[in-house]
Chain A
Amino acid sequence: MPELPLSQPSQRSDASRLESGRPNSAGPIIDFAPDVSCLDVEGLSLAYGGKPALRDLTLRVPRHRVTAFIGPSGCGKSTLLRALNRLHDLNEAVSRQGSIRLEGQEIHAPEVAVDELRRRVGMVFQAPNPFPMSIYENVAFGLRLQGGLTRRRMNDIVEWALEAAALWDEVKDRLRASAWSLSIGQQQRLVIARTLAVRPEVLLLDEPASALDPISTLKIEELIRSLKSQLTLVLVTHNMQQAARVSDYTAFLHDGELVEYAPTASLFTNPRLARTENYITGRMA
């Protein structure tokens, strides 16, 4: 586990920080430096129709680890998550500065095809959104788009993805049934299987369990832990206990800024900043 006490805040001087109009005089506290980073966000600012949502944010997401983004509503955590696979491209009102690199490659570079980026960086949303087709076809959907697979190979991958999403045993006898016949928790795991089928390198999870009952939530959390040997996971959650349970690293965002980013165990037992402490302990700021 990379836990070097190396701080790498943004490169700005104090003067430029004041110019940006935000009172983050100390800059973020970043309490570790990943050995191997998968995603490098640097100086990322993002605004919706001129209204800033992320302000000069710099952080590195370590490979094959679970990183959680936490913070109050409107802090920018979902905006940041969506920026990681360019979901904001669809919204013309969004303006962006700064860079995001996936395995060293700038994701906004002209040669990067968005659909290939989204295959490499999959996303799962709060409400499960299975397609109106069978369980099997849901998982095979992305594979069919890619094309070039034999039926047998396709079957293997569908089984593998459902296994990886911890759903296989529950659905193996009814693969042709409608995806909508599944419980909400199963639907969410099906959506994860659909994302896994195209072999992403990163899985972005935006409140993946907030619509689920406690048992389904635990299954999703268990799944998140089991997947990190194969891919990098980034989780946005309002549920701090969930972040504490499943993530290796936690970034606390507030007002579009990164406030504190540290190994989860130390952030939840001994945060360095009062803003973090107040948020995770449920105190008034």
Chain B
Amino acid sequence: MDITSDTHSQHISRQFNQELEELKTHLMTMGGLVENQVLEAVRALLEGDSRLAEKVRDRDRQVNDMQLKIDDECTRVLARRQPAASDLRLVLAVIRATADLERIGDEASKIARNALSLIESGTTVRGLVEVRHISEHVRKMLRDALTAFARFDTELALQVVREDEAVDDEYGSAMRSLMTFMMEDNRAIGPVLSVMWILRALERVGDHADNLAEYVIYLVKGLDIRHMDPDQIDEDALKRRG
């Protein structure tokens, strides 16, 4: 059966309601934190703000700590409550989601480190238009995936899954134009490679947002669409289920 975002507040045990609510709240807090990390890492690069880049790099530890904390809470719920059905799926989805959020945090920190070296080198950086464009795209995916998680919205989640292909295409074409820059001017190879790493990190953020959206569908529908081709996901089947 389908569940809704308030399903988890209807247990006979109020304490259990509260524990599950806290898991969701903490996941959202962690989501907000990594979303901001990506935003500020890219801003540091675009604005040449090395202090901001350092801040992002150093804040990664906070993200890691949050992952450990939420995982620990999940372990305790599993041990004490032996959740079943949608409660079990929620706990599993949260555990998986924290792993992806932590990886997004790593990507943000990677972007910040590359931004720092670019800023310090003082060279003219090419490819920033592509960085801006793709970063906006993946940040929207991430935001939508988190909203879908908070609202148990499978339609929005499915949109995110479909969006990932568009990001992959944009990433491919950005890489091709950066290759051209490198061929035109071999002094640009170093900086362009850094930008390529940044683009690669952003593309990975999109992949993780895609994963988060898949967990939402698992959580709400009990349907595991990982490793499925987005075109093969049958919307009608999703609607019928439950």
Which residues of A are at the interface with B, using a C-beta cutoff of 8 A? 240-241, 244, 268-274, 276-278, 280-284
Contact = CB atoms under 8 A, between A and B. Distances in A.
A134 B16 CA distance: 48
A240 B16 CA distance: 17
Contacts of A277: 1, 3, 85-86
B174 interface: no
A272 B85 contact: no
A273 B16 CA distance: 22
Contact of B84 (A240, A272, A274): A240
A284 B11 CA distance: 6
B79 interface: no
Interface string B11-42: 11100100000000000000000000000000
7 A-B pairs with least C-beta separation: A270-B222, A283-B10, A280-B84, A268-B84, A274-B1, A281-B87, A277-B85
Contact of B85 (A241, A268, A284): A268
Most buried by B among A241, A244, A269, A283: A283
B242 interface: yes
B242 A284 contact: no
Interface string B72-88: 00000000001111111
Pick from B1, B11, B12, B83 the residue with the most CB of A within 10 Å: B1
Contact of A281 (B11, B222, B242): B11
Interface residues of B, number: 18
B84 A281 contact: yes
B89 interface: yes
B86 A281 contact: yes
Given A240-B84, A269-B89, 19 more contacts: A268-B84, A269-B88, A269-B222, A270-B89, A270-B222, A272-B242, A274-B1, A276-B85, A277-B1, A277-B3, A278-B10, A281-B86, A282-B12, A282-B16, A283-B10, A283-B11, A284-B10, A284-B11, A284-B12
B222 A282 contact: no
Interface in B210-233: 222
A274 B2 CA distance: 8
A192 B235 CA distance: 51
Nearest to B81: A282
22 contacts: A240-B84, A241-B82, A268-B85, A269-B85, A269-B88, A269-B89, A269-B222, A270-B85, A271-B85, A273-B1, A274-B1, A276-B1, A277-B85, A277-B86, A278-B10, A280-B84, A281-B11, A281-B83, A282-B13, A282-B16, A283-B10, A284-B12
A276 B10 CA distance: 14
A6 B242 CA distance: 17
Contacts of A274: 1
| Interface of chain B: mostly helix, strand, loop or mixed | loop
Nearest to A283: B10
B1 A272 contact: yes
Nearest to A241: B82
Contact of B11 (A269, A271, A282): A282
Contacts of A278: 10
Contacts of A271: 1, 85
A264 to B, nearest CB: 11
A178 to B, nearest CB: 38
A269 B84 contact: yes
Contacts of A244: 84
Nearest to A245: B82
Contacts of B88: 268-269
A234 to B, nearest CB: 21
Nearest to B218: A270
Contacts of A280: 84-85
Contacts of A269: 84-85, 88-89, 222
Contacts of B222: 269-270
A283 B6 CA distance: 12
Contacts of B11: 281-284
Contacts of B3: 277
Interface in B52-87: 82-87
A55 B65 CA distance: 55
A59 B23 CA distance: 39
A78 B98 CA distance: 44
Contacts of B16: 282
Contacts of B1: 271-274, 276-277
Contacts of A276: 1, 85
Nearest to B87: A281
Contacts of B10: 278, 283-284
Nearest to B223: A270
Nearest to B242: A272
Nearest to A260: B1
